[in-house]
Structure 1
Amino acid sequence: MLKKSLFFILFLTAISGAILLIQWISYEKVSRAYQEWQLDQEIHLEHNHTGLSIKHTFIGLEAGQPLSVILPASALNAACKKKEGNCSFRGQGALITPDGETLTISYALKMPPLGSSFVLSDWFIKLKDAKAENTTLHFTEKKIRTGMWFSSLGTAEIKKLDLIDYYMFQGSGSPGELYWQQEPLKQASFHSK
C-alpha cells in the first residue's frame, strides 16, 4: 500500500511539473513576441471650430496580424481606411487587422471649454498588444491663435503662419498629455555655481 501511494504521489508530481513546464514555455513565447513587436506612430491633429480631428497612423505593423486598441472615451465617428486593412469597432475598443505595414484610424473629439489653460489627457489611441516606440505628433491649430500648445513628448517645432499655427512634437513612447496655456511660458535658465 505504501509503495502504491508513493508511486501515485510521484506520478502526480511529474504530471504537475510537465504542465508547469508547458505553461512556462508558452508564456516565454508570448512574452518574446510582445517585446519584439514594437512600432511607431504618427498622429495628425487639427483643431478647428468643430473640435479636434485626429488621424492616428500606426507604422511597422505585421500584415494580417490582428492588434487590439482602445479608443478615447469621447471619440466620435471612428473609422479606418478600408484599403489599409479591416477594423472592427466595439464600444471604445477596436480590433484592427492591417493589410500592410501601416493602418490609419481617424476620429473626432469635442474640446473642453477654454479657460486660461487646460490639459487634454484622454485623446489618443492606446495599444493593448504592442508598444509604441516612437511618436511624431503634427498639430494644426486653426481656432485658438493666442497661447501655446505643449506636449509631454518634449519641445516643439513651432511655425506661426497667417491662417494656422503648426506644432510638431517628437519623442519616444506614447503621446501623453497635451497642455494649452493662453499666456506664453517664459523660458527659465539655471546656472550651476
Structure 2
Amino acid sequence: MTMWRISFTLLIVLCSVIGGMLFWQWHVYSDYDQPKNELEKAEQELTVESKGNQLIITQRIEGLKSGKEYRISFPEAITSWSCEKADGEICESVDENPSSFVAENHSLILRYQIELKETNAFLLNDWMGQLPDVEIAHSTIKVVDSARREGSWVAGFPLKGFNKLELIDYYVFAGEGARGSLYWQSEPLTKIMDQNGLQFFAQENKDKQDYPFESLKQIPNLSGISVIFTSHFQETNGIGLMVANPDIKNELLERKIVYNYFLGKAPTLPIEERWLIDALTSLFLAQQSNVPKGNELISELNSVLAKEEIVNFLNAVIREDSITPEKLDELIETIKEKHTHFFTLNKNEDTKLVPLYFNDARKVVLQEKIQEDIEVLLVNDEKLLPFIDTMSALGFEAKALADQEMILLNKGNNNYRFYISQNIFLYNEADFGLLENPLQMINGTVYIKVHLLPEIFKANIEETENEIKISLDF
C-alpha cells in the first residue's frame, strides 16, 4: 500500500512537471508567434468648439490598454495641452516624462486650444495630438460652432451630418485613418455632389456637373477626399481635402485629386522628397511631370520595366496605406525579385538621378570573409562590384587619384594601374589591353565587371545559391 502511495505521488508530481513544461512551451511559442512590429490599434473622437478667437478641442482616444503608459506628441504650434481623466483629474504618469500618461478605462482624454488670427478663412493640417506607438484606425470630428456660424466647415474626413440649431451649428465628419485637415471660410459652402468616393463642396454660384474621370475608377480605395471649390483661399492640398479654384479645368482637377490621393499616403514626407508624389501622379496619369527630375525618373522606369510591370507597380502603390522611398523600393523588388535602392538614392529632388539598378541578394565573400557592406550591382544582367572596396578586401592597397581618372593597386610585388575611361591597364609597368572597359562609374563610385576578375587578377569565383565567393591565390 505504501509503495502504491509513493508511485501515485510520483505520478502526480511528474504530471505537474510535464504540464508546467507544456504550458511554458506554449507561452513562449505564443509570445514568439505574435507579430513584433504591429502597432496597437485604437479610435479617436475630437470635439472642436469654436468660441471667440479660439478653437477648444477635446480629443478622446479609445481602445487603449488600461494601466498602460502612452507617449503623447503634439505639433510645435500647440504649446499648452493637458491629459485628463473622465472626472477632470490630471492623468497619472509612472515616470518623469511629462509627455507620457497612463490610460484609464481604455482611454486617454487630451484637451488643448488653438488661437486663430485669420478672419476670412483658415486651413489646419497638423493640429491633432498623436500617440506614436498607436495606430488610429478611425477618426470622428465633431464641430460645435457658436462663433463662426456665417461660414462653413469642411474636414479631411467625409461629412456625415450637419445640423443648424438655434444657438450652434453642429457638424460630424468621420472616416478611416488618424489625420485629417480642418478648413473654415466665412462664406457658406454647400455639398454639391458625391462622386467616385469624393465629396465636392462649393459656394452657391457654382454649377453642379459630373466629373468623368476614368482614371479615378482605377483607384478602388479612393474615398474620403473633400474637394472645396472656392476663391476665398489659395489652391492647396491638405490631408484628406484640397482647395481648388471654382474655374479649374477638368484635366487639372483630375491631376490635383490624384496628387492629393498619393500625398495622403505620405503626409509627413519632407518637402525635398515631395517631388516623388508629383512623379507618381504623372506616371499614373501618363502625363508630363511638373518636375524635371520627375520626367527623368519616369523615363528610367519605362526603360527598365515592362508596361505590365509598371501597371503592377502602380497597383501595389495604390494598395499600400502609406508609402516612403524605401517602401517604393520594396514594391519594385517584389515585382523584379531583385533588390534595389532606386527611390531611396533618388529621394532628394536636388540630386542627380541615379539610374535604376538592382542588387544581387547573395552575400559577397572575399578571401573567406563575408562583406556586409559590399553588394553586387546588376546592370543589364552584368554583375558589378565596387572596385576600391573589393580590391581592398582582397588584400590590395587601393587608391584613386584626385581626378578619379586613375586607380592604383599594390599588393606585394603586384602593381596595377587602371584608367577609368580606357580598355587598358598596366601590370608592373607592362601594358595590357582588353576587349572592353573593365570599369564603370556609377553614382560617383567606380565598379568593376565581375566576369573580368579572373582574366585580370586570376581570381577564383564560386557562385552558390546564397553566396558569391571570390579569392586570390597571391
Shorter-normalised TM range = 0.7 to 0.9
- Aligned positions of 1:89-128 closer than 5 A: 90=98, 94-115=99-120, 117-128=121-132
Identify the match of residue 190 of structure 1 among 210, 228, 238: 210
Please say which structure displays the higher CA radius of gyration: 2
Matched, 1:166 2:186: no
Q: Show the counterpart of 2:140.
A: 136
Contact 2:71 2:101 in 1 (8 A): yes
State the distance in 1 between where 2:147 and 2:104 align: 36
Contact preservation (8 Å) 1:150, 1:156: no
CA distance in 2, matches of 1:30, 1:85: 28
1:46 corresponds, among 34, 44, 49, to: 49
Whichever structure has more strand as a proportion of its residues is: 1
Q: Letter of the 2:36 partner, please give it.
A: V
1:106-163 deviations in Å (ceiling 9; x for gaps):
1111013222x22112221122001101111111111111111000111241111121
Name 1:69's counterpart in structure 2.
Answer: 72
The amino acid across from 2:48 in the alignment is L
- CA displacement 1:60-104 (0-9 Å, x = unmatched): 0011222212123232542222458425774xxx21211321110
Q: Tell me if structure 2 keeps the 8 A contact 1:141–1:166.
A: yes
**In 1, Cα distance between the equivalents of 2:97 and 2:209?**
48
- Measure, in 2, the Cα distance between the counterparts of 1:150 and 1:38: 26
The answer on whether the counterparts of 2:162 and 2:169 sit within 8 Å (CA) in structure 1 is yes
Which fold has the larger relative contact order, with Cα–Cα distance below 8 Å and residues 6 or more apart in sequence? 1
Higher helix share: 2
How far has the Cα of 1:179 moved from its partner?
A: 0.9
Aligned amino acid, residue 103 of structure 1: L
Contact 1:152-1:176 within 8 A present in 2 as well = yes
Distance, in Å, in 1 between the alignment partners of 2:130 and 2:83 is 15
The Cα shift of 1:29 comes to 4.6
Pairing partner for 1:177 from 161, 171, 181: 181
Letter matched to residue 67 of structure 1: Y
Alignment match, 1:60: 63
1:191–1:111 distance in 2 versus 1, CA, 3 Å: closer
Alignment partners' CA distance in 1, 2:173 and 2:143: 8
**Given residue 70 of structure 1, which amino acid in structure 2 is its aligned partner?**
S
Q: Which amino acid aligns with 2:74?
A: L
Amino acid at match of 2:175: G
Q: Alignment RMSD, CA only?
A: 2.5
1:152 counterpart (148, 153, 156): 156
Match of 1:30 among 27, 36, 49: 36
In the superposition, the TM-score normalised over structure 2's length comes to 0.31
Amino acid across the alignment from 1:148: S
8 A Cα contact 2:54 2:115, kept in partner: yes
Mapped to 1, the partners of 2:145 and 2:180 lie a distance apart of 18
- Read off the aligned partner of 2:103 and give its amino acid letter: P
Q: CA 1:132–1:191 in 2, change beyond 3 Å: closer, same or farther? A: closer
The aligned counterpart of 2:84 is 81
Aligned residue pairs total 160
Cα shift at 1:185: 3.3
- Does the 8 Å CA contact 2:82/2:90 hold for their aligned counterparts? no
Q: SS state of the match for residue 50, structure 2?
A: strand
**Structure 1 unmatched ranges of 5 or more:** 1-24
